């Protein structure tokens, strides 16, 4: 249970971090952010990086601020930054505070980062679900430049993303939500703080008594979190309530391709998908 | 073996100058290099919380940090809670409420609860329960631990005023 040896680098500037990463990435050099996924993987020797580029001391990466109509979350912003809903972030702030309490435990949230979660891409990551449901954009940087990756192109299966080994996820940009947007999150697992077996995040607006612009995202069910257009179609134009919410749940269960593990067969996750979607919708309406 | 790095850890107000390999966890360093064996190690992968310490005011799992990352920073461990023979209110509350049996998990719970109550003296009960769910106890059960922390919360609030 002891990590294998590695060389440690603690750059102070983004340029230095990116230069180092370009050098060490070809030899399985990696970024160390909160360490709350990487260090356990190293303890199990599932990961044996030869170099770690610790970004915790890099100036400017802790930026958490509104840029126009998005919330920009820098690479070293911890999960715990979202414990209390910041009124300046409006509905999005409330949504993030609702979701964050389901991520691991308090002392893990003081270290772990949102960008680290997005880079790690566990199928049951709450932040990955949030990013895809809201349509976030990832800002990836290398020593040579930067590119923006929409969430829809970013997740590529279990623990796999569009990021290249020499790319640092410098920032995630989450769209702010219009005042009055309803949001609901529901997660099922067996112990507090565990990874979700299944979860759903939903947002919608109500226009003339009908649901509009429904976003339905599921996580923990398939290899990557994703939106479910069939469930959204079952909601848009309908009156918010039990009938529409259950229809959206059913529509989800009908189309998912669930992952399996030793304790949870695919059929279980399929049923669960319907339940988490309808419960997230009920919470949004409450 | 990789080269060792010279670092200084300030533990409970005392500087410890040690030389460690980068792969050495903070938990191992606190125990083996600094001799503060009150911090316990259970799982070494972030699940149990017995290694919880306070780093610059925040509770952290010391098995999930490398000691080199804590160079120059202020750490608090269970050894720093009592003032001489005077137990910290959280320690007294654990005794009063039978919050421990074997005691293996206790240092982690004490540091977790202390940091949470110092940061948020008026924490809502639901949030306190959420925070306490971070750590595992394999023998006492959680009810007495919760009782103890609730008692300490009241006493620490009184002391703060
Ligand atoms: C007991 C326990 C329970 C947990 N439960 C949950 C849970 O319920 N839900 C959940 O979502 N997570 C959970 N986690 C994981 C936690 O949320 C991590 O913080 C998160 O997955 C990774 O973020 P990090 O900052 O700690 O990244 P690290 O562990 O430092 O890095 C993880 C990976 O991402 C890479 N990386 C990190 N940052 C960047 C970046 N900016 N650019 C490019 N690559 C980067 C690293 O190189 C590494 O490969 C749990 C962890 C533990 C120990
Ligand atoms: S030893 Fe650190 S969490 Fe278990
Ligand atoms: S008192 Fe024995 S594990 Fe908690």
- The full set of domains in chain A, from first to last, is 7-54 (3.30.43.10), 64-175 (3.30.465.10), 182-285 (3.30.390.50)
pLDDT over 70 (residue A243): yes
Identify the pLDDT of residue B103: 97
The set of residues, in sequence order, having a beta carbon less than 8 Å from that of B127 and lying 6+ positions away, is B120
Across the range B119-147, mean pLDDT stands at: 95
Cα–Cα dist A97/B54, whole Å: 23
- At B79-95, the pLDDT tens digits run 999 999 999 999 999 99
- At B94-116, the pLDDT tens digits run 999 999 999 999 999 999 999 99
Across the range A115-140, mean pLDDT stands at: 98
The 8-class DSSP code of residue A263 comes to S
pLDDT over 70 (residue B161): no
The set of residues, in sequence order, having a beta carbon less than 8 Å from that of A113 and lying 6+ positions away, is A33, A34, A75, A76, A77, A78, A79
- In SS3 terms, B43-102 reads as CCCCCCCCCEEEECCEEEEHHHCEHHHHCCCEEECHHHCCECCECCHHHHHHHHCCCCCC
Tell me the pLDDT band of A191, cut-offs 50, 70 and 90: confident
Identify the pLDDT of residue B160: 65
Cα–Cα dist A159/A124, whole Å: 10
Cα–Cα dist B134/B125, whole Å: 15
Backbone region of residue B12 per phi and psi (left: phi > 0; alpha: psi in -120 to 50; beta: other values): left
- At A245-274, the pLDDT tens digits run 999 999 999 999 999 999 999 999 999 999
Could you give the 3-state DSSP secondary structure of residue B136?
coil
B64 CA to middle of ligand 2, Å? 8
**CATH 3.10.20.30 boundaries in chain B:** 5-80
User: B70, B58 in Cβ contact below 8 A?
Assistant: no
Q: Which atom of ligand 3 is nearest to the CA of B101?
A: 1
Cα–Cα dist A192/B135, whole Å: 10
Q: Is the pTM of this model over 0.95?
A: yes
In terms of Cα–Cα distance, which of A240, A125, A234 is closest to A187? A125
CB contact under 8 A, A105 and B22: no
User: A182, A216 in Cβ contact below 8 A?
Assistant: no
β-pair type (A168-175, A137-142): antiparallel
Long-range contacts of A262-266 (CB under 8 A, 24+ apart): A264/A197
Q: What are phi and psi of A173, to 5 degrees?
A: -115, 115
Token pair in block for residue A205: 């607006």
Identify the pLDDT of residue A161: 98
Cα–Cα dist B61/A234, whole Å: 44
**CATH 1.10.150.120 boundaries in chain B:** 89-160
- At A92-106, the pLDDT tens digits run 999 999 999 999 999
Identify the pLDDT of residue A1: 82
- At A164-190, the pLDDT tens digits run 999 999 999 999 999 999 999 999 998
Identify the pLDDT of residue A151: 98
User: A38, A159 in Cβ contact below 8 A?
Assistant: no
- At B30-62, the pLDDT tens digits run 999 999 999 999 999 999 999 999 999 999 999
pLDDT over 90 (residue A52): yes
Across all residues in chain B, what is the average pLDDT? Answer: 96
> Which residues in chain B have their CB less than 8 angstroms from residue A101's CB?
130
> Which residues in chain A have their CB less than 8 angstroms from residue B59's CB?
106-107, 110
Name the CATH superfamily for B89-160: [2Fe-2S]-binding domain (1.10.150.120)
Cα–Cα dist A52/B140, whole Å: 39
Cα–Cα dist B33/B55, whole Å: 18
Cα–Cα dist A139/A118, whole Å: 11
Match 């199928």 to its residue by tokens.
A123
Cα–Cα dist A113/A118, whole Å: 9
Cα–Cα dist A202/A43, whole Å: 36
Across the range A119-145, mean pLDDT stands at: 98
Q: Which residues of A make CB contacts under 8 Å with B?
A: 1-8, 10, 35-36, 39-40, 42-44, 52, 54, 56, 80, 101, 104-108, 110-111, 192-193
Q: For domain B5-80, which CATH number applies: 2.102.10.10, 3.40.30.10, 3.10.20.30, 3.40.50.300? A: 3.10.20.30
pLDDT over 90 (residue B131): yes
ipTM of the complex: 0.95
The residue nearest atom 2 of ligand 3, judged by CA position, is B102
Identify the pLDDT of residue A192: 80
Q: Which atom of ligand 3 is nearest to the CA of B102?
A: 2
Across the range B127-154, mean pLDDT stands at: 96
Cα–Cα dist B108/B136, whole Å: 9
Cα–Cα dist A143/A33, whole Å: 18
Identify the pLDDT of residue B1: 65
Across all residues in chain A, what is the average pLDDT? Answer: 97
Tell me the pLDDT band of A118, cut-offs 50, 70 and 90: very high
Q: Nearest chain B Cα to A191, which residue?
A: B133
């Amino acid at each position: 249970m002891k990590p294998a040896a590695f060389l440690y680098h603690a750059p102070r500037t983004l340029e230095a971090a990116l230069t180092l990463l370009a050098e060490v990435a070809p030899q399985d050099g990696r970024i160390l952010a909160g360490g709350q996924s990487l260090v356990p993987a190293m303890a199990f020797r599932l990961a044996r990086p030869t170099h770690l580029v610790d970004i915790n001391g890099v100036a400017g990466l802790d930026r958490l601020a509104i840029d126009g109509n998005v919330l920009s979350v820098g690479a070293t912003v911890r999960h715990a930054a979202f414990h209390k809903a910041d009124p300046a972030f409006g509905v999005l702030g409330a949504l993030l505070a609702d979701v964050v309490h389901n991520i691991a435990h308090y002392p893990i949230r003081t270290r772990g980062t949102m960008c680290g979660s997005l880079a790690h891409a566990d199928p049951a990551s709450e932040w990955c679900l949030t990013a895809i449901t809201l349509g976030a954009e990832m800002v990836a940087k290398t020593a040579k430049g930067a590119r923006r990756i929409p969430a829809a192109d970013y997740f590529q299966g279990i623990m796999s993303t569009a990021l290249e080994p020499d790319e640092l996820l410098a920032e995630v940009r989450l769209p702010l939500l219009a005042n009055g947007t309803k949001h609901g999150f529901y997660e099922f697992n067996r112990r507090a703080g565990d990874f979700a077996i299944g979860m759903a995040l939903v947002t919608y607006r109500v226009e003339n008594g009908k649901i509009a612009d429904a976003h339905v995202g599921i996580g923990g069910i398939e290899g990557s979190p994703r939106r479910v257009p069939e469930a959204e179609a079952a909601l848009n134009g309908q009156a918010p309530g039990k009938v529409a919410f259950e229809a959206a749940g059913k529509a989800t269960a009908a189309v998912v391709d669930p992952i399996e593990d030793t304790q949870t067969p695919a059929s279980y996750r399929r049923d669960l998908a319907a339940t988490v979607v309808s419960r997230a919708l009920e919470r949004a309406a409450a | 073996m990789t080269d060792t790095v010279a670092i200084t850890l300030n533990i409970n107000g005392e500087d410890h100058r040690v030389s460690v390999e980068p792969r050495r966890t903070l938990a191992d360093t606190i125990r083996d290099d600094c001799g503060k064996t009150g911090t316990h190690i259970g799982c070494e992968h972030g699940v149990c919380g017995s290694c919880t310490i306070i780093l610059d005011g925040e509770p952290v799992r010391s098995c999930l940090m490398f000691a080199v990352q804590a160079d120059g920073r202020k750490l608090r461990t269970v050894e720093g809670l009592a003032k001489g023979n005077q137990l910290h209110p959280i320690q007294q509350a654990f005794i009063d409420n039978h919050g421990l049996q074997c005691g293996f998990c206790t240092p982690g719970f004490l540091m977790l609860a202390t940091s949470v109550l110092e940061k948020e003296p008026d924490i809502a009960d639901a949030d306190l329960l959420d925070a306490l769910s971070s750590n595992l106890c394999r023998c006492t059960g959680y009810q007495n631990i919760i009782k103890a922390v609730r008692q300490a919360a009241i006493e620490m609030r009184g002391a703060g005023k």
